[in-house]
């Protein structure tokens, strides 16, 4: 994030140099295997830049000149021209709007507005704390955040795997139980059919119980 405060600086050109410097720092800190998910250059401007559209926020991306198709979605430059941010404090309903309002007007305040004290400035304090870290501490901080994010990903993967395995086990158990119930029902039907035929041929209840493995009550119902 940069804060160019003079129109004499060629704003659309200088951010690229700054972003490249940040990329070199990340590569040196983490090694060639480190992969950046996204790189955003955010530039706060207290003036109107002739080379940009007449609006508060301009987002630029790397795209093909002929087709306009975005080539790299992980590299963006965002220009914020504060003269175009005209919202009053009571019109700022989101944290983003309140942050922009604070960044634009804080130099003119003798007292922080109550509406911004807790939510906005606690967020700015966290950003400022990281910005004032030494290079070594910032690298350690970034690595700690990376480890935390990786651990969350691993935990989520383990949780999802456990859920999937649980579903698979439940499905297998249900299938096995269903198969067992079906086989038991089939064997019962077979014994009932044998008992029915024996009964039709005049065999005694005691003999049918011994041969078919059924109770006398079950045979009486045939």
Domain ranges of the chain: 1-85, 87-132
- Residue carrying structure tokens 């304090």: 125
pLDDT for 123 equals 65
pLDDT lower than 70: segments of the chain = 1-37, 118-134, 136-149, 151, 162, 173-174, 176-180, 182, 211
Pseudo-torsion of CA 83, 4, 131, 16, nearest 10°? 120
Task: Assess contact for 95 and 116: CB atoms under 8 A.
Answer: no
pLDDT for 98 equals 86
**pTM for the model:** 0.45
Q: pLDDT digit string (tens) for 193-212?
A: 777 777 777 777 777 777 67
**Chain centroid to CA 5:** 36
Rounded Cα distance between 206 and 222, Å, is: 15
Pseudo-torsion of CA 113, 80, 58, 77, nearest 10°? -120
Rounded Cα distance between 132 and 137, Å, is: 9
pLDDT for 213 equals 76
Q: pLDDT digit string (tens) for 144-183?
A: 666 666 767 777 777 777 677 777 777 776 676 666 676 7
Tally of CA atoms within 13 A in the half-sphere of 76 that contains its CB: 13
DSSP state of 8: T
pLDDT for 198 equals 72
Joined together, the tokens standing for residue 182 give 């079906």
């Amino acid at each position: 994030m940069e804060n160019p405060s003079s129109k004499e600086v060629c704003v659309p050109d200088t951010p690229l140099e700054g972003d490249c410097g940040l990329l070199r720092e990340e590569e040196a800190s983490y090694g060639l295997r480190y992969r950046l998910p996204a790189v955003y250059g955010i530039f706060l401007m207290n003036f109107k830049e002739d080379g940009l559209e007449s609006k508060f926020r301009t987002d630029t991306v790397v795209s093909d000149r002929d087709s306009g198709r975005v080539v790299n979605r992980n590299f963006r430059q965002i220009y914020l021209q504060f003269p175009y941010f005209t919202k009053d404090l009571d019109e700022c309903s989101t944290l983003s709007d309140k942050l922009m309002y604070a960044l634009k007007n804080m130099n003119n305040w003798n007292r922080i507005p109550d509406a911004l004290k807790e939510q906005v400035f606690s967020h700015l304090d966290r950003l400022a704390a990281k910005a004032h870290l030494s290079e070594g501490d910032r690298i350690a901080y970034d690595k700690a955040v990376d480890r935390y994010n990786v651990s969350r990903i691993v935990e989520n993967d383990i949780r999802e795997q456990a859920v999937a395995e649980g579903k698979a086990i439940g499905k297998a158990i249900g299938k096995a139980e269903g198969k067992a119930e079906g086989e038991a029902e089939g064997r019962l039907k077979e014994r009932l059919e044998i008992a029915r035929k024996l009964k039709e041929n005049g065999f005694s209840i005691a003999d049918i119980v011994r041969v078919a493995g059924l109770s006398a009550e079950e045979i009486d119902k045939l």
